[in-house]
Amino acid sequence: MRPDPASAIEACAWLEKAAQDLRVAEVDLAASPPLVEDAAFHAQQAAEKALKGFLAAHDRPIRKTHDLVGLGAECVEIDSTLEPLLRRAGELTEFAWRYRYPGSPDPLSRGEIVDALELARQVCDAISAKVAVVGT
């Protein structure tokens, strides 16, 4: 299946933004002291933007949502092989809002965010590979 050129351009734009969020999360972790909660937000954002890129590549509407469970379900309707990974990625959803405002609950450990960032990276890599296949 070949997406129309506009869909391919939009998908690439989403994936570029996802890659930027991964990079920002890595910079946040390298800061002294590490900006762990900000890194968590960018990990979630990277996964969200990758999923929206996948939907764009398949000419599906992009909803204004941070819900990775719902976005993941839409992606799985297109490609069921993504289901195990995207089910796990749903746990990143709360990072879109949980640590963005004062009064946040229990702080994240560096290990927790390293794991979250690795999961976001896996989502981005898997989606990038699928989008590259769609574009061929």
| Count of the separate structural domains present in the chain | 1
**Contact, 94 vs 69, CB < 8 A?**
no
pLDDT in tens, the chain (136 residues): 455 678 889 999 999 999 999 999 999 999 999 999 999 999 999 999 999 999 999 999 999 999 999 999 999 999 999 999 999 999 999 999 988 888 767 888 889 999 999 999 999 999 999 998 665 5
The tokens describing 22, both together, are 């991964």
Burial 112-123 (b: 16+ CB within 10 A, else e): ebbebbebbbeb
Closest residue by Cα to residue 123 from 55, 62, 72? 72
Q: How far apart are CA 18 and CA 50, in angstroms?
A: 6
Domain of 23 in residue numbering reads as 5-134
The CATH number of whichever domain residue 26 belongs to comes to: 1.20.120.330
